[in-house]
Amino acid sequence: MDWMRMIQLFIDPEIIQATKDTLVMLGLSTLFTIVIGLPLGIIVFLCSEGQLLSNKLMYTILSTVINIFRSIPFVILMIMLIEVTRFIVGTSIGVRGTIPPLVIAAAPFFARLVETSLREVDKGVIEAAQAMGASPNQIIWRVLLPESRPGLIAGITITVVTLVSYTAMSGIIGGGGLGDLAIRYGYQRFDTEVMLITVFIIIVLVQILQMLGDRLVLRFTRK
């Protein structure tokens, strides 16, 4: 292994570009995952038994759909979705082509995490809000979300970390970013240095994200 080359690779334009691509994919897919997963999780929670909109049929349908998406391994899901991705963003490769499968895989996962953290909210508090005449909307925005904030942040952290590994996997179908680099150079050309450097960057990225998430959770925990 060539240490000098390793150090040089840190300022290699291709690696820097790939890191940027990964961050863009991560940022956008996290955003869309939250936009879709949070409401989905809230609806699933509200439909579950004994909750505000308790609806067994609706719950079963949503829960099953979530389970189906969660049980398909991401590598396979991403290939299955190629046509769908083309339809949504016009291409199935590169940064753009990676975001739809990432979101479709991560949103149901995040929705489940949302549901679990909402379940942690003391039922008595919801009841107290009802007794004060709060509407279902007010209960969602002023009770459920603020009360479960630490849990939701922890859920987002887990989801983002999962998304990091998904973005790397998407390299298999030409997804761009660090994973793509690792596969093209590291796997196909046996270029150990490039592979190690991408892995190193990914590890650092995950560490930073996890630390950030943990700090935020701590900051918002009042119990």
Residues that bind another protein (CB under 8 A): 122, 124-125, 127-135, 138, 142-143, 146-147, 149, 220, 222-223
Selection from 203, 161, 196, 162 nearest residue 181 by Cα: 196
- Is the Cβ of residue 153 or residue 173 nearer to another protein in the bound state? 153
- Is the Cβ of residue 71 or residue 137 nearer to another protein in the bound state? 137
Amino acid at 139: I
Minimum Å gap between C-beta 154 and another protein is: 14
Minimum Å gap between C-beta 121 and another protein is: 9
Minimum Å gap between C-beta 50 and another protein is: 12
- The half-sphere exposure of 37 on its side-chain side, counting CA atoms within 13 A, is 29
Percent helix / strand / coil, the chain, rounded to 5: 85, 0, 15
Minimum Å gap between C-beta 146 and another protein is: 5
Amino acid at 205: L
- Is the Cβ of residue 103 or residue 129 nearer to another protein in the bound state? 129
Work out the number of other CB atoms within 10 angstroms of the CB of residue 165.
Answer: 13
Chain centroid, CA 119 distance in Å: 20
- Is the Cβ of residue 153 or residue 205 nearer to another protein in the bound state? 153
Minimum Å gap between C-beta 130 and another protein is: 6
- Alpha-carbon gap, residue 117 to 38, rounded angstroms: 11
Sequence-separated (6 or more) residues with CB below 8 Å from residue 135: none
- Is the Cβ of residue 14 or residue 120 nearer to another protein in the bound state? 120
Minimum Å gap between C-beta 127 and another protein is: 6
- The half-sphere exposure of 209 on its side-chain side, counting CA atoms within 13 A, is 23
Selection from 57, 176, 47, 209 nearest residue 114 by Cα: 47
Minimum Å gap between C-beta 76 and another protein is: 40
- Is the Cβ of residue 20 or residue 119 nearer to another protein in the bound state? 119
- Is the Cβ of residue 148 or residue 170 nearer to another protein in the bound state? 148
Distances (CA, A) of 24 to 17, 46, 74, 78, 180: 10, 33, 19, 18, 14
Amino acid at 47: C
